[in-house]
Amino acid sequence: MKNSCFSFNSIKKGSIIFIMIFLSICVKSQEVTMFDPLNEDIVEKLQPLSALIDSALIHDPYVRFRDLQVVVNQCKLSAEQSYWLRNIGVQSDIRYGTFNNFSTNTAEGQNPDYFATQTNQWNWGVGAYMKFPIIDLVERKNQVNMAKTEIAQAESMAMFQKKEVRQLVIKQYNELVLKQNLLKIKAKYMALISANNLLVEKEFQNGVTNLSEYTRISGIYESAQTEFEVARIEFITAYMLLEEIVGFKFNISNTK
């Protein structure tokens, strides 16, 4: 497995692609589109499903969190792989000051003579060191393997989160299509009941239909109106939820 700690270039490239897709969607969404939900198909007014999924992946905070977690774990792996370097180093020491230097002159059969001098000078030294604690030697492989496992876990969670977002967009997209179809059905039914209600009302006024029949038809008409209003609100709700998931407005008029 390649260590890609701080390999933000690949992330930046992916982000640029997502941003370009998002900007193209936003430009298109700025144009207000007239739409009649009872006679037109909502699918023809929306962006392609693939573009909606891409936009949702950009805006979903959990997707961003999972992607960043992968980067964090990659950095942990890099740190574990280079951890042994802390046991190798170079030390240096530089000093300047007045130093007393002592020396001796010893001749055979004579007592040594001692000489002392005092000078201002630079003293410096350089040395290298290497140490390997036993615990580091034993645990290093386990720590590296654990870091690799954490990367695999983070990548799996990122893939899972993206899969959930895709499924959510697909489900809400189809939910919107279903709600529009139900709205059309309720609208046709209400139109039929409305025409029947007007006919029965005239017949009642002319004495052709009795009160019981008139009341029954009126009740059916009111129920049809209620069902139509419920279907209309459900369609609007599905529309707004899809907007919320993908992260931008469709700017389709006559849907609210």
96-108 tens-digit pLDDT: 666 566 566 555 5
| Amino acid present at 241 | L
pLDDT confidence of residue 12? 46
* Better-scored residue on pLDDT, 192 or 256: 192
Task: Judge whether 121 lies within some domain.
Answer: yes
Are 46 and 250 in contact, with CB atoms under 8 Å apart?
yes
My answer on whether 114 and 66 are in the same domain is no
My answer on whether 62 and 119 are in the same domain is no
My answer on whether 241 and 141 are in the same domain is yes
Q: Chain-centre distance of CA 95, in angstroms?
A: 55
Of the ranges 20-29, 38-47, 60-69, 164-173, which one carries the lowest mean pLDDT score?
20-29
Which of the listed residues 78, 111, 130 is the one where a domain comes to its end? 130
| Amino acid present at 163 | K
Top-ranked range on mean pLDDT: pick from 24-33, 75-84, 241-250: 241-250
| Radius of gyration from C-alpha coordinates of the chain | 40
pLDDT band at 204 (very low <50, low <70, confident <90, very high): confident
Beta strands, E only, 18-112 = 33-34, 88-105
Task: Judge whether 1 lies within some domain.
Answer: no
* Better-scored residue on pLDDT, 134 or 57: 57
My answer on whether 144 and 124 are in the same domain is no
My answer on whether 159 and 219 are in the same domain is yes
Report the CATH number that the domain containing residue 203 is assigned in CATH: 1.20.1600.10
My answer on whether 75 and 162 are in the same domain is yes
Distance CA 5, CA 24 (A): 31
For residue 7, the 8-state DSSP code is: -
> Could you tell me the two tokens for 154?
């983070």
pTM beyond 0.85, yes or no: no
Q: Is the pLDDT of residue 13 over 80?
A: no
Q: Residue 56's closest CA among 29, 21, 32, 27?
A: 21
User: For 158-169, b where at least 16 C-beta lie within 10 A, e where not — what string?
Assistant: beebbeebbebb
**Backbone phi, psi, residue 135, to 5°:** -60, -35
Domain boundaries, position 106: 87-130
Task: Judge whether 12 lies within some domain.
Answer: yes
- Count of domains forming the chain: 2
pLDDT band at 74 (very low <50, low <70, confident <90, very high): confident
Is residue 253 within a helix (H) or strand (E), and if so which, with residue range? Answer: strand 252-253
Query: How many beta carbons lie within 10 A of that of residue 66, not counting itself?
Result: 19
Percentage of residues in the chain with pLDDT exceeding 90? 30
For residue 96, the 8-state DSSP code is: E
CA atoms within 13 A on the CB side of 194: 10
Of the ranges 37-46, 51-60, 247-256, which one carries the lowest mean pLDDT score?
247-256
Which of the listed residues 130, 157, 191 is the one where a domain comes to its end? 130
My answer on whether 116 and 12 are in the same domain is no
Distance CA 37, CA 6 (A): 49
My answer on whether 120 and 232 are in the same domain is no
My answer on whether 76 and 178 are in the same domain is yes
My answer on whether 110 and 180 are in the same domain is no
Beta bridge partners, 95, equal: 123
Which of the listed residues 130, 158, 182 is the one where a domain comes to its end? 130
Distance CA 141, CA 155 (A): 21
pLDDT confidence of residue 208? 84
Task: Judge whether 50 lies within some domain.
Answer: yes
Task: Judge whether 2 lies within some domain.
Answer: no
My answer on whether 74 and 148 are in the same domain is yes
Task: Judge whether 3 lies within some domain.
Answer: no
My answer on whether 179 and 249 are in the same domain is yes
